[in-house]
């Protein structure tokens, strides 16, 4: 028996996930350092980690199952 699951995409969460991903990549590349001057290495790593976690959470919540 074949079962299909209908899903819906929450556009705002998906846009937020893409934006947070771009912020994470710019922090890891060092291009964010030109605009934002971090207080230290630990601060930069913490910000990159929190941005990556925000990316994961927003990407996970952008898809919803339709009942």
18-29 per-position pLDDT tens digit: 999 999 999 999
Query: By the 8 A CB rule, do 20 and 55 touch?
Result: yes
Residue 7: which pLDDT band, with cuts at 50, 70 and 90? confident
For residue 5, give the 3-state DSSP assignment: coil
Query: By the 8 A CB rule, do 31 and 51 touch?
Result: no
What DSSP line would sit under 21-50, residue for residue?
A: HHHHHHHHHTGGGGTS--SSHHHHHHHHHH
Q: What is the pTM of this model?
A: 0.84
Residue 45: which pLDDT band, with cuts at 50, 70 and 90? very high
30 Rama sector, left if φ>0, alpha if ψ -120 to 50, beta otherwise:
left
């Amino acid at each position: 028996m074949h079962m299909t699951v209908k899903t819906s995409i929450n556009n705002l969460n998906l846009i937020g996930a893409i934006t947070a991903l771009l912020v994470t990549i710019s922090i890891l590349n060092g291009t964010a350092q030109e605009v934002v001057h971090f207080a230290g290495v630990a601060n930069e790593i913490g910000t990159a980690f929190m941005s990556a976690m925000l990316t994961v959470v927003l990407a996970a919540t952008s898809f919803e199952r339709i009942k």
